[in-house]
Structure formats: structure tokens, C-alpha cells
Amino acid sequence: MATVHKAMLLATVLLLGGLVACGSGGTEGSPTGVSDEESIRDVVEQSFDALRTLDDERFQGYACEAKRQPVSSSRESSPFDEVFLGLRLQSVDDIRVDGAKASAQTRHYSVDEPDDILSDSIDLVREGGAWKVC
């Protein structure tokens, strides 16, 4: 069962990882005083939290326009809910910014298998001054 859970977690993160977004933006020296790297890290953390709490509306707010999905007013349960509820983000590392595109490496795990750390690369784009995963 643990192998199935791990496979589901990995598949889910890879499938939805493209929707995880990165934050309200700013570059060093911008009026917000927040670097791109700080914004990206913060929003990746917030988007993982939205997944973990099954907050679809909040999660979609972090997605780029091309990946955004409509949010239903009545949420139906999903076979992946258990996986999302157990999802924990350990770190956001290796953030690379190239103009209006960026990438970040996440390390995450399931509360059911906390010693089994998974890694995923997240791609981001800047839209309307904010970083979004796409």
C-alpha cells in the first residue's frame, strides 16, 4: 500500500505541479522590496498549502492563465484528496530566474512516509507582475 501511496503522491504532484504558482512579484529594488526568489519561494509554499487544505479556489489563484481551471461552487471529493491532505513541502530550492520565466526545485513528502522525500521541478512565468506556475 505504501508503494501505491507513493506512486499516487508522485503522480499527483507531477500532474498538478504545473499548476502550482508563484507569487506576487517584485524584483530586487522594486517597490515591494521583495526579490523574485523570495516571491517564488513564498507562493510555492502557499500553493502547496492550498493543495494540502483542499482549497481549490486559492490553488487556482496561483496558476498561470493557460493552466487555470474553473472552480465549482460545490466541491466534489476526489480520489486524490487523501494524498493532498498528507502532502508536505520540505523545501523550495535551486530557484532560477530568466526574464519572465523561472524554475524551482521542490522537495516534498507524504505524512505517511516522511522519510521518503520526493523532488519535482516547477516551471513559472510572470503574469501581471506576479509569478505563476505554468
CATH of the domain at 37: 3.10.450
pLDDT tier, 106 (very low <50, low <70, confident <90, very high otherwise): very high
How many domains in the chain? 1
In DSSP notation, 69-127 reads: ----SSPPP-TTHHHHHTEEEEEEEEEEEETTEEEEEEEEEETTEEEEEEEEEEEEEEE
Work out the average pLDDT over 57-80: 83
Q: State the residue range of the domain holding 33.
A: 2-133
- Residue with more model confidence, 69 or 58: 58
Highest mean pLDDT among 26-40, 62-76, 81-95: 81-95
Name the residue with higher pLDDT: 104 or 31. 104
pTM for this entry: 0.72
